[in-house]
Amino acid sequence: MDYLIFLAGYFFHKVLILRRFLILFVEFRAFYDKKNKKLSIKPGITINNDSLLLNGALYNYFQLMKEYKFANDSRSDDEIFLRLLMLKGFDALKLMNADYSIAYRKGDKLFLLRDLAGSCPIFYSNNNDFFSFSDEKMEEGKELSTGALLEFDLKNNNLVLHDKSSIPKKEFFKSYEEMIEVFAKELFRSISIRVYNLGSFGIMNKGNTETKIIIKLCTDLKTSFVLLNPSYSKESAPEALKKVKELTGSNNFDLVQFYFACMKANEEGLKVIICDLGASLLLHDAVNPVHYYYIAKHFNINLRYPFLDIKLAEAMLRTDAKYKKNLLAVILEHLK
């Protein structure tokens, strides 16, 4: 009997993982006809009169299930999001380690929320006739800022943009040694929760320090990954650049490498790429995750950004500027 209970628990756990892994991209859009008071949307989950549409991934899923005793009836990331929002309001977002854009309907209010990393875009449009939103760019649409909360009243058509959330600043690290220990620990945590039970996934092999850190930790975790070494001919590059411009609006040639990496991942049957993007953002370089989002979406590939983890961002705010230049190289050496 105990063995049967164990098997039931094991397969329930595996079904949860499989279900979560297969849901990569949703139809993240809605249209509200103001004249007829009609909202056209396909929510991912509805509980009582509240509904939620999630574009993204929740990484501390099992921790939250256990902590809030959702284990017997919750099946997906969007259900955990919705249950916690119903329980704690928007303070629930502080509990979640996730990449997300959210459309949350509660009564006559529709809320749009975007994470601080900006990994999943939201565009919205509001005029006399309709209100709409989408993860795709819209004619006369505006992009919702990272960390922002938009509130739209379906009853009186009022739109309110609330102040952006921000990462709280803390005191600098007390010592250089403490700084390195914290970064090494948080990087290990950030990568481990993003690759947990993924099966095989891809890592774009740029040969830079960020990628070497990802490869080192994924190897230590004994995960199954494929190094994506995108190779392409001079003849194929112009056509790829044209497609990149069409998808992202940018003609940055660095995106061509990523385009071919996604193409290679498709050939390998991979659905997830662990991306080094974000390390330079933490170090105050200009990076736009949205470009990568649209290229990956074109290939139906999910991206995960360990360097955009909120706890790493908090640690960076505690780091003295004089240590930032060689920080990643020092961390890599520390991990060896």
What DSSP state is assigned to residue 163? P
Sign of torsion over alpha carbons 205, 217, 118, 299:
positive
Measure Cα distances from 263 to 198, 260, 287, 295, 308 in Å: 19, 5, 22, 10, 24
Q: Which helix (H) or strand (E) holds 290?
A: helix 289-298
Confidence of residue 286 (pLDDT cuts 50, 70, 90): very low
8 Å CB contact between 122 and 132: no
Q: Between 17 and 197, whose confidence is greater?
A: 197
The Cα 248–Cα 264 span in angstroms is 19
Six-digit token pair at 52? 């939620």
**According to the model, what pLDDT value does residue 1 have?**
43
Q: What is the architecture of the domain spanning 23-165?
A: 4-Layer Sandwich (3.60)
> Using one digit for the tens of pLDDT, what is the confidence trace for 69-93?
886 556 789 999 999 999 999 999 9
The model's pTM:
0.86
Q: Nearest to residue 241, comparing CAs of 232, 135, 275?
A: 232
Annotation: CATH topology of 174-333: Rossmann fold (3.40.50)
What does the domain layout of the chain look like in residue ranges?
Answer: 23-165, 174-333
Q: Please indicate whether the domains covering 23-165 and 174-333 agree at the CATH topology level.
A: no
With H, G, I as helix, E, B as strand and everything else as coil, classify residue 229: coil
**According to the model, what pLDDT value does residue 172 have?**
87
| 122-154 core/surface letters (b: 16 or more CB in 10 A; e: else) | bbbebeeebbbbbbeeeeebeebebbbbbebeb
Confidence of residue 273 (pLDDT cuts 50, 70, 90): very high
